[in-house]
Amino acid sequence: MPESLGIFAIDHIVLTVRDVDTTCAWYGRVLGMRRVEFDGGYVALHFGVQKINLHPDNAPYVPHATIAQPGTADVCFVATGTIEEIVAALNREDVAIEVGPVEQTGASGVMDSVYVRDPDGNLVEIASYR
């Protein structure tokens, strides 16, 4: 990758989903993300200074990934709380933890993570740096 591009952050990612409302409800309830509608009907989940654009699988927006299907993403979110607080919050929301807590290496060092599934089956890692 040429250094001249100066890439320094991810602005947004896109998830292809079966049901936008169900996805928004889950990410809002479980992860505290907020639904934002923009540009005449597009929907995104906002958190911090990032967003996740949601594309319905039955009417994908152009352009899109070559194989845009629900349940094909694997994403990691960093939380401000401890791993114990994350586990407790997930338990309160009746979200099944598939793996963890486990130690992982993130972009900024050692972190503790748990893995859950969203309504489409995407793998969602929630991590806390030590």
125 is catalytic: yes
* pLDDT tops 80 at residue 4: no
Q: Determine if the pTM surpasses 0.85.
A: yes
Side by side, the strands of the sheet bearing 12-17 are 12-17, 50-56, 42-47, 34-38
- Classified as helix, coil or strand, 29 is helix
User: Would you state the pLDDT for residue 8?
Assistant: 82
Domain that holds residue 32: 9-129
| Assigned domain for 74 exists | yes
Residue that wins the pLDDT comparison between 62 and 90: 90
Contact 127, 112 (CB under 8 A): yes
Extract the tokens encoding 8: 């320094």
Q: Based on the structure, what is the number of domains in the chain?
A: 1
Query: CATH number for the domain including 101?
Result: 3.10.180.10
| Assigned domain for 114 exists | yes
The residues near 5 (Cβ < 8 Å, ≥ 6 apart) are none
